[in-house]
Structure 1
Amino acid sequence: MALNLQVIICSVRPGRVGPSVANWFYEFAKEHSNFDVSLVDLATFNLPMYDEPKHPRLQEYQHEHTKAWSRSVDRADAYVFVLPEYNFCPPSSFTNALNYVYKEWNYKPCAFVSYGGISGSLRSTQVAKQLVTTLKMMPILESVMVQMPWNLLDENKHFIANEHHISSGDSLLEELEKWAKALKTMR
């Protein structure tokens, strides 16, 4: 049985570039990995700032948006977060989505496809790696970093990957699969 990988678009900002980058990685992962891959867009869950009355470790969710998010997160064996950088940090939508659930994230690996200006969102990714460890996730070292993604879009706003994006993506998926198999035994 194949492992389930979610490619999660973390920005919900209007006019975002994230979906273009995420769609490329989603198609790339479907062709180049042993995962069953799904594309998840945080914007479709409409998660307000955390509004559950009980701690997420209890899994006693009151709101339908939380229950839907819980089901989505729980289905995956691994995650690739497609992450921009806002003021050297991940967007609040990413942090909020992490905080909504707890056990659903535990003992699963994650990786990052980061995008932004000259830093390619590396600072945001470093902060995000600290956040995910508090949810008992294992952030892997391998990543894909995209500098100036708006310069890599075709006339239809499709992201056109360079060779270093592709080779980084191959390394990311290979390592993520190893960790997903290993951590599945802990769940």
Structure 2
Amino acid sequence: MAKLRIAVIISSTRDTRFGPVAAEWIAGIAREREELDIEVVDLRDYDLPFFNEKMTNRILPSEDPRAIAWQKKIGDFDGYIVAMAEYNRSLTGAMKNAFDQAYLEWNRKPIGFVGYGSVGGAFAIQNARVIAVELQMVPVRAAVHIGGGEYVKVVHQRQPMTEIEPAILPSANDLLDEITWWGHATKAARSEG
């Protein structure tokens, strides 16, 4: 069976973000699985304008070359895991804009989340799951929530992620199991047309 190409997306673009730490942590665990080919995708590397196309690319092709480049990048994957920052009880503007810049490329693929913040990114993840359904994605049930004491340890006390793994590794394994199952199922269905 061919490997699944999974993007781990860093959803925050601000200078003092925690996203790369969470993304590299889940990417490292995912890379231990032979059936997954993992690539970290940083929104900071894409100069995405605010969505300003005539329509979604489900209806009309996009015109901005930056949006087209993003669509090409995202379209290359079989599924996604988002290192989900939570700003004011929702997802980041950068991630919402990244969702909006593509449509067809997200369709019929699984998406999961590693959330972080005071309540483990729960509100941001819930909001993103609603968006994912509209984009015809498969949001998986399992998620990693780095919140409360674990969040303080890694962000404020600067302890390594390995210090909080006992609290979050079971969720990470469940998330990866679900991404893998749904990734194979949706890839097979897409190949059938």
Q: How many angstroms does 1:149 deviate by?
A: 3.0
- 1:170 lines up with 2:170 in the alignment: no
**Matched residue of 2:100: which SS?**
helix
TM-score when normalising by structure 1: 0.91
> Could you say if the C-alpha distance between residues 30 and 50 of structure 1 is closer, same or farther in structure 2, counting changes exceeding 3 Å?
same
> Could you say if the C-alpha distance between residues 181 and 49 of structure 1 is closer, same or farther in structure 2, counting changes exceeding 3 Å?
same
Fraction of identical pairs, as percent: 30
Matched residue type, 1:108: K
Q: Which residue of 1 aligns with 2:9?
A: 8
Q: Which residue of 1 aligns with 2:57?
A: 56
- 1:85 lines up with 2:100 in the alignment: no
Q: How many angstroms does 1:97 deviate by?
A: 0.4
**Matched residue of 1:56: which SS?**
coil
Matched residue type, 2:100: N
How many angstroms apart in 2 are the aligned matches of 1:41 and 1:12? 8
May I ask how many residue pairs the two structures share in their alignment? Answer: 186
Residue pair 1:20, 1:158 contacting (<8 A) in 2 also: no
Which structure is richer in relative contact order (CA contacts within 8 A, separation 6 or more)?
A: 1
Equivalent residue in structure 2 for 1:151, among 128, 150, 153? 153
Matched residue type, 2:138: M
Matched residue type, 1:176: I
Q: Which residue of 2 aligns with 1:184?
A: 187
Gaps of 5+ in 1: none
Q: How many angstroms does 1:92 deviate by?
A: 0.9
Matched residue type, 1:136: Q
Gaps of 5+ in 2: none
Q: How many angstroms does 1:84 deviate by?
A: 1.1
Residue pair 1:17, 1:149 contacting (<8 A) in 2 also: no
Q: Which runs of 4+ in 1 moved over 4 A?
A: 153-158
TM-score when normalising by structure 2: 0.89
RMSD: 2.0
**Cα displacement string for residues 103-129 of structure 1 (whole angstroms, at most 9, x for unaligned residues):** 100000110000011x11111111111
Q: How many angstroms does 1:165 deviate by?
A: 1.6
